[in-house]
Amino acid sequence: MNTLHLLSPDLNSTIQIGKVFGQVLPRGSFVALDGVLGAGKTHFVKGIACGLDEGGWAGLRSPTFTLMLSYHGGRCPLHHIDFYRLNEAPELPGEIVEAMNTDRDITVVEWASIWREVWPSRHIAVHMEVLDDNRRRLVIEDNAGLKPQLEKALSAWAIEPARA
Ligand SMILES: Nc1ncnc2c1ncn2[C@@H]1O[C@H](COP(=O)(O)OP(=O)(O)OP(=O)(O)O)[C@@H](O)[C@H]1O
Ligand SMILES: [Mg+2]
């Protein structure tokens, strides 16, 4: 199996998990994030930005209205995209198509499953599930050959697949 199951007991843990995840990501990574409204996707991206040493990570906001926000202060550029407001089969602006296929930067998309057809074949899908007010289950599906590194780095939060 190429999946990892993690439990985040609270908001800070999600940011911490995102941070460790971000530290493991090589340049060129594409991360597809899914989960209901308020699952914690944007806070997970904050963690990734923190892991890339992006100094402005705490102020990172959802790109819902702009489609994409890019950060250049970390160890490599980070593009944060949100598909939530995409209409069916839209023409994506060139800069977004470029970010989706980059081999130099790191690109993370919220509500990524709205448009799976545009995902690159090498990707990591992270599904965030709400268990209760504070607990979230994260299912990470690795399609980028990073499972050994991710498993080692994220072992503190690992749970058995069936456990809540
Ligand atoms: N363990 C947790 N991980 C992440 N967020 C949590 C957790 N526990 C509680 N929360 C709360 O859940 C909310 C998550 O908000 P966030 O904006 O990150 O969600 P989102 O998935 O990006 O939502 P949207 O689909 O609207 O973009 C915040 O209000 C946060 O305080
Ligand atoms: Mg969000």
% of the chain with per-residue pLDDT over 70: 96
% of the chain with per-residue pLDDT over 90: 82
- How many angstroms separate the CA atoms of 137 and 93, rounded? 33
Q: Report which ligand 1 atom has the smallest distance to the Cα of 10.
A: 1
For residue 37, which ligand has an atom nearest its CA?
1
> Can you say whether residue 99 is alpha, beta or left, with left for phi > 0 and alpha for psi between -120 and 50 degrees?
alpha
* pLDDT the model gives residue 91: 78
Q: pLDDT grade, residue 151 (50/70/90)?
A: very high
Mean pLDDT score of the chain:
94
With beta carbons less than 8 A apart as the criterion, state whether 128 and 150 touch. Answer: no
* pLDDT the model gives residue 28: 97
Handedness of CA 149, 161, 131, 29 (dihedral sign): positive
The model's pTM: 0.96
Ligand 1 pocket test, pick from 6, 10, 11 with the greatest ligand atom count within 8 Å of Cβ, gives 11
Neighbours of ion ligand 2 (CB under 5 A): 41-42, 62, 110
Domains of the chain: residue spans and CATH: 3-88+95-157 (3.40.50.300)
Distance from the CA of 161 to the center of ligand 2, in angstroms?
Answer: 25
Give me the mean pLDDT over the 78-93 stretch.
84
